[in-house]
Amino acid sequence: MADESLSFSPDRFSGVARVFPLPNLVMFPHVMQAMHIFEPRYRAMLEEAVEDDRLIALGLLAPGWEQEYEGRPTLRSTACLCRVATHQRTPEGTYNVLLLGVRRLRLVRELPPKKMFRVIESEILEDIVPVDAAVGTADRLQKELLAAFKRAMPKIPDAYEQLDQLLGAQITLGMLADIVSYTIDLSLDWKLRLLAECDVFRRAELLLEAIEGRPASGPQRTFPPDFSLN
């Protein structure tokens, strides 16, 4: 079933996040991620979210998680709050879900284990646009970022045209940086560093550094990713 609205209002977020910990994915705002949820604890988490605020945070497990996956292995401190866009229950009782990233989160304190899944007190991290930056900085960084992304991409038919359409959609620099950060093939550490950076100009500069320093290879995700102007 589909939700009628993907809108998100930060003032409606309680600060208590249901966290789905993952070993190999860093999620970003403004993009969509398909998932298949089959473990009982995460099925329970999804069912509660759908009945409540439709919010789930995707977090990244810290190195060494393999030794205690069934328990509560350490999480990295930055996560992405996501809204359940669609969900479908399979005949086996599992779920196919589409999540939309809506905000960065700082995970502050894990609550006692009273539920099957992990619940963590957290705070929303909003984008910061420096007010003392030189005039035209955002436009310059956006053009540099698109150019670097084009150079890093393999020759996919129509991909350059789709990139130009993204620019034509007049999305913000922060949104563009998040879409590229999600799409391009970078290490988890680099992606987490980009997710944790709230200063939009600094995030774009870091991403440019990451793109220019990466080994030659194509983006790890299909371009363009599903994304939202929300």
Structural contact between residues 95 and 89, judged by C-beta atoms closer than 8 angstroms: yes
Question: Which residues lie below 8 Å from residue 201, measured CB to CB, with a gap of 6+?
Answer: 129, 130, 133, 137, 138, 141, 173
Cα atoms in the 13 Å half-sphere on the side-chain side of 195: 32
* Cα 23 from Cα 20, distance rounded (Å): 10
Does pLDDT of 213 surpass 60? yes
Report the alpha-carbon angle 146-84-199, nearest 5: 40
* Cα 225 from Cα 148, distance rounded (Å): 17
The alpha carbons of the chain give a radius of gyration, in whole angstroms, of 18
pLDDT of residue 130: 87
Structural contact between residues 208 and 144, judged by C-beta atoms closer than 8 angstroms: yes
Candidates 105, 99, 100, 119; CA nearest to 45 is: 119
Domains of the chain from N-terminus onward: 10-125 (2.30.130.40), 137-213 (no CATH)
Name the pTM for this structure.
Answer: 0.86
Does pLDDT of 220 surpass 60? no
> Which range (10-14, 54-58, 149-153, 201-205) has the least confidence?
149-153
Average pLDDT for 69-86:
87
Structural contact between residues 86 and 112, judged by C-beta atoms closer than 8 angstroms: no
Q: What is the mean pLDDT of the chain?
A: 85
* Cα 39 from Cα 187, distance rounded (Å): 27
- Residue-wise pLDDT for 5-42, tens only, equals 567 888 889 999 999 999 889 999 999 999 999 999 99
Average pLDDT for 89-94:
94
